[in-house]
Structure formats: C-alpha cells, structure tokens
Structure 1
Amino acid sequence: MTDVLVLGGTGWLSGEIARRWMDAGARVTCLARGGRDAPYGAALVRADRDAPDAYLRVADRDWDEVVDISSNPGHVTAALTALAPRTRHWTFVSSVSAYASNDIAGQDESAALAVPAEPGDPYDYSRAKAACEASVRSVVGARAAIVRPGLVVGPGDPTDRFGYWVARFALAGDEPVLVPDLEDRDAQVIDVRDLADFLVAAGEARWVGTANAVGDPLPLRRVLDLAREVAGHTGTVVTAGDDWLAAHDVQNWMGPRSLPLWLPTDMPGFTTRANAVYRLLGGRLRELRATLTDTLADERERGLDRDRVSGLTRAEEEALLTELGIAGAP
C-alpha cells in the first residue's frame, strides 16, 4: 500500500488531496495542528510546524509521497530536512503568484520567478512561494513535482472569491447586481477536485517537473454571464468603471468591500498562464457550468446572505447602486 503524508490535510485543498489519495487506495496520514478533523479514514498526527520537534512522530518511517502546500519557507525547509531522506517522491503545491510579473499574457513555466524571500523579510506571498520552491528544488529536485495552481475554486472555498458571483446573483433574484467593467478582463480557474486529482496522479507516477495547474483563460464577462444563468438572476446588471469603483473604496480581487476576480488591466499575465503541461499530463478541467452549479449548492447551504471573507455585503452593494442612481436600489 502507498503511504502518503499530507502536511496539513484538515483544510480545504489539503483535505481534498487527502481524500483523493484515499480514494486511490493509499494509506494517508495528515500532520496538522488538530483544530479540525482529518478526513474520515486518514490518521491525524497533531503537530505545530513552528515547533522544533514538529516532524518527530513522522520522521522515523519511510514515505512513498509527501505533499506540502505551505507558503512558509521555514516550515518547508524544516519538513525537507526531517523527511526528505526517507521520502520517495515530494509534491509541493506552489502558486502562479510565485512568478515575478504578470504583465505578459500566455507565459509558461519558464517565466521568471519572484526573488525568493530571505529570513526576516516582511511577509510577501509571491516571494515566500518562490523561496519554498527553491528549497524543494535544492533538496529533492530530482524527485519532486512542483505544481503552480491559479485561482482554485469550487464547493467549500474559504476565500469566498469565485462563489461570490453565483451567490450574489442568486441572492439578488430580480434586483440589480453591480459588476465592474468587464472589457479586456479574463479569469482562469481550476476546480479544487480537478487539482487534487492531478496532484494524486503526479504522485502516483512520481512525476518530476513543474506545471501550471490552471484552467483555460476565459473572458470574465463569460464567467459572470454563466454564473448569472446558473443562479437564475433576472434583474439588471449594472456596470461601474474602474475609477468610480476606486473612488468609492471598492477593492480588486478579494477581501472585504471588493468585487472578486476583478483585476487591473495591467495584469493580463495573471489570468492567462499557459496550461499545456497540465493538459499533456492528463490534467482535467471540468465544465465551468458544473463547478458553478456545485458552488451554488454549497453557497445555499452556507447561506447566501452570510458574512463573507470577500465581496461586497448586499447593503454595501445597494448603497453603491443608489449612488449610481439605479432604479430598484433602496
């Protein structure tokens, strides 16, 4: 039986990875703080990765596969030191955010990475992921897969980005919804289940290399139109320009008081990364409609009007619509 250690395993993506490995017949151990349960059937080793003995209980045996999704360079380096000598294959889940720039569309895995973070530097996600990758390549490069996902989406997403739109259209019903200027904006998403399947397949094959795990680039307008259709929204769609939104303190991409997935026009590379390697390796991309349908079901279960990590509250959106003089806004 294949022995797999997932560093994490109790979160959204890492939990999905653990479940998919078990579906493939592996014996899975999750190493995590223990605030949440591991997926049913997986063993949970409680450990704090900040502690010097974090890997003591899992470093005394051989592993066929270790999967790490951390963006903490110290955690990654310590794990490699403790576990690499007895691990046959290592999968590191990085990010397209590790690239140095996003101003050129269509770049592949050979594009320059950000300058790796140094100990003591202020935290920067891009540089941190680049530093993690550098450690993995240095220690286990000849037996490691480095996978760079883009925007990971689907049921259970804790970031509330992708799900915002299908949930908002459903919540609004026949009332207006505010959207950003969609001209020359793209989106590039990958369903968490497709990503997890790919990571398992790479581990099973002990594939060595680097791959962008990203979907096909799509016009953001198409994504929102399909979200609206899936949600059954019949109200008007109101567009506000970039300058107007910025003047009204509406943020790009994610976080409170944002319009998720909306990016400045000077970042075409972020949503158009090449995915030829992923495709050639058999990476799956399910239909966007299926992901949106499953995401809406999850959003309904969690509550369409719940507090969100990302997006406008409905009250904030209605106030902005009123500012725009839209009939039907309170």
Structure 2
Amino acid sequence: MTQVLVLGGTGWLSGRIAERWRDAGAQVTCLARGRRTAPEGTVLVSGDRDQPDVYDRLREQHWDEVVDVSRHAQQVCEAVNVLGDSTDHFTYVSSMSAHSDDVTVGLDESGPLHAAAQSGDEYDYGAQKAAAEQAVRALGERALIVRPGLIAGDGDPSDRFGYWAAAFARAGADPVLVPTLDDRFAQVIDIDDLVELLAGDRRSGILNANGESRPLADVLGRIRSAAGHTGEVVEAADEWLLEHDVQYWMGERSLPLWLPADMPGFARRDNTAYKASGGRLTPIDDTIRRVLQDERARGLDRERSAGLSRAEERALLLELAE
C-alpha cells in the first residue's frame, strides 16, 4: 500500500489532499498540531513542527510520498533534511507569490523569484516560499514544486473569492461596492483541480498551477448573475478606497481580488505548462455555483477573514454618493 505523509492534513487545502490520497487507496498519515481533526480514515500524528523532536515517530518509516504546504521555510528545510532520505517523492505546495515580478504579463515558471528569506523575514510570504523551494530543489528528480495562484472553492477560510458571492447575494436589489474594474484581472484555480494534480502521478520539476486569466469585470459579472443580484454596481477609484481605509486583495476591510494598478502581471500568469501536464480547468461558472452554495450555507452575513461587512459597505456607498 502506498504510504503518504501529509505535513498538515487538517487545514482546508492539506485536508483535501489527504482525502484525495486516501480515496486513491493510500495509507495516509497527517502530521499536525491536533487542534483540528484529520480526515476520517487517515492517521493523525500530533506534533509542533517548530520543535526539534517532531519527526521522531516518522523518520524511520519509508514514505512513498510526502506533501508539504507550509509557508515557513525553516519547517520545510527541516522536513527535507530529516525525511528526504526515506522519501521516494516530495511535493511542495509553494505559491505564485514566490515570483518577484508582478509586472510582466504572461510570466511562466522561469520567472524570477524573491530572494530567499533570511532571519527576520518571517512575515515575508513570498520570500519564505522562495526559501522553501530552494530547500526542496535539493531533492532533484524526487521533488515536485507546485505554485498555485489564488485557490477558489467551497470552505475557503481566506474568504477572498467567496466574499463576492456573499456580497452580491446579500445585497439583492441594493447596490454593491466594487473597485475600478477597467484593466483589472483575476486568475484562480479551483481547489479540486489543484488537489487532483497534487495527489496524481508523481512528476518532478516546477509547475505554476493556475486557471485562465479573466477580466475582473467578467468574473464579478458572472458571480453577480449567479447570485441573482439586480442592484447597481458602484465603482470606486483606488485613491478613494485607500483614503477610506479599504485594503487591496485580502484581510479585514478589504475588497478581495482588487490589486494595485502597478501589478498588472500578478493575475495574468502563463498556465501553458499546467495545461500541457494534463491539469484540469473546471469551468469558472461551476466553481462560482459551488462557492455561492457554500456561502449561503455558512451565512452571508457571518464574520469574514476578508472583505467588508454589509454595514461597512453601506457606509462607504453613502459617503461615495455625497
């Protein structure tokens, strides 16, 4: 039986990876702190990856596959050092944010990366991912590095894609606030497509995993149509939003998927290699329908990790109309 170790396995993405390997007939072990449950039918080993003895129960076993999703380079380095010799294949889930060039449109896998994180760079996401990639590349042909873009799907704890489904659905016939849409783009990959790749055949190399780049106006229009929104769509200029403490991309009091104008390449990456590798691309309307159903089930007015509350949105719309 195939022995798979998922470093994590209890989060949104890592849990889906563990489930997919389990469903493929593998014996799956998840290493996590144990604050959340591991998928049914997998084995949970509790441990803190910042502790030196965390791999003591795992290092003597042979692993056909190890999957790591950590954003902390030191954790990934330690996993490679300790488990590398007893592992046939190591898959690391990096990020498109590892690329340092957010200007070039059509950037592919060969694009430049951030300088590897050093001590003191713990909160520099791109640099951490780049440093982790550096460690994994030492495994040579036994390693696969996958750089997904924004991951979309049901259950997403980041609320970035799901925010818009909720925003249009909760507004009904009332207005919805959006950023300036002209020359803005969005590029996502469905979580099910990504998981299928990560739990598939064990290739090597580096692969940027992304869906098709689309105008942000098109993406929001499709979400609006699926949600049945009939109200006005009100655009606000970048400067006005920033002056009113609305943030780009993610986090509290943000407009998710909105990017600065000086980052035209971030949501327009090349995905030729992903498609050539057989990577699946779920139609975006199918992803939207699934996300909208999930947002309605979880509550359109719930507290979110990203976006605006409806009260915040109404206050901004009123001020914009003055």
CA offsets per residue over residues 168-216 of structure 1, 9 Å max, x none? 1000011110111000000000011110001111xxx320110000111
Identify the residue that residue 165 of structure 1 maps to in structure 2.
164
List per-residue Cα deviations over 1:32-75 (Å, max 9, x = no partner): 00000001111101011011111111111100000001111111
What CA distance in whole angstroms lies between the structure 1 residues aligned with 2:221 and 2:235? 13
Aligned equivalent of 1:240 = 236
Distance in 1 (CA, whole Å) between partners of 2:76 and 2:248 is: 30
The one-letter code of the counterpart of 1:127 is A
After TM superposition, give the deviation of residue 122 of structure 1 in Å.
4.5
- Is the counterpart of residue 42 in structure 1 residue 42 in structure 2? yes
Change (3 A) 1:19 1:122: closer
> What is the match of residue 78 of structure 1?
78
* Residue type at the aligned position of 2:24: A
1:221 aligns with 2:220: no
> Secondary structure at the residue paired with 2:321?
coil
1:123-173 per-position Cα deviation (integer Å, ceiling 9, x unaligned) = 2101000000001112x1221000000000100100010000011100001
Q: For residue 91 of structure 1, what is the aligned residue in structure 2? A: 91
> Runs ≥4 in structure 1, deviation > 2 angstroms?
119-123
**Which residue of structure 1 lines up, in the alignment, with residue 128 of structure 2?**
128
Q: How does 1:175-324 map to 2 (within 5 A)?
A: 175-201=174-200, 205-324=201-320
Deviations 1:283-304 (A, max 9, x none): 0110111111111111111110
Q: Deviations over 1:195-251 (max 9, x none)?
A: 0001111xxx32011000011100000000000011010111111111111111111
- Identity, % of aligned positions: 58
Q: Give the structure-1-normalised TM-score.
A: 0.96
Question: Which residue matches 1:144?
Answer: 143
Equivalent AA in structure 1 for residue 199 of structure 2: V
- Give the whole-Å Cα distance in 2 for the aligned partners of 1:259 and 1:122: 25
Q: Which residue of 2 aligns with 1:64?
A: 64
Return the alpha-carbon distance in structure 2 between the equivalents of residues 179 and 44 of structure 1: 43
Matched residues in 1 for 2:78 and 2:244: separation? Answer: 45
Which shows bigger deviation, 219-228 or 237-246? 237-246
Deviation of 1:121 after TM superposition, in Å, equals 3.4
Pairwise CA RMSD:
1.0
- Following the alignment from structure 1 to structure 2, what is the Cα–Cα distance between the partners of residues 112 and 220? 25
One-letter identity of the residue aligned with 1:143: R
Matches of 2:36 and 2:233 in 1, distance apart? 39
What's the CA shift for 1:277?
1.1
- AA matched with 1:280: A
Q: Which runs of 5+ in 1 are unaligned?
A: none
TM-score, normalised via structure 2 length: 0.98
Are residues 1:8 and 2:8 paired? yes
Distance in 1, Cα, partners of 2:135 & 2:205: 15
2:313 maps to a residue whose letter is E
Q: How many residues get paired?
A: 322
Amino acid at match of 1:169: F
Partner of 1:18: 18
CA–CA separation in structure 2 for the residues paired with 1:288 and 1:122: 34
SS at match of 2:140: helix
What are structure 2's unaligned runs of at least 5 residues?
none
1:325 shift after superposition: 2.0
How big is the shift at 1:118? Answer: 1.6
8 Å contact 2:32–2:44 — kept in the other structure? yes
Q: What are the superposed Cα offsets for residues 11-43 of structure 1, whole Å, 9 maximum, x if unpaired?
A: 000001011111211111100000000011111
Deviation of the 1:76 alpha carbon: 0.7
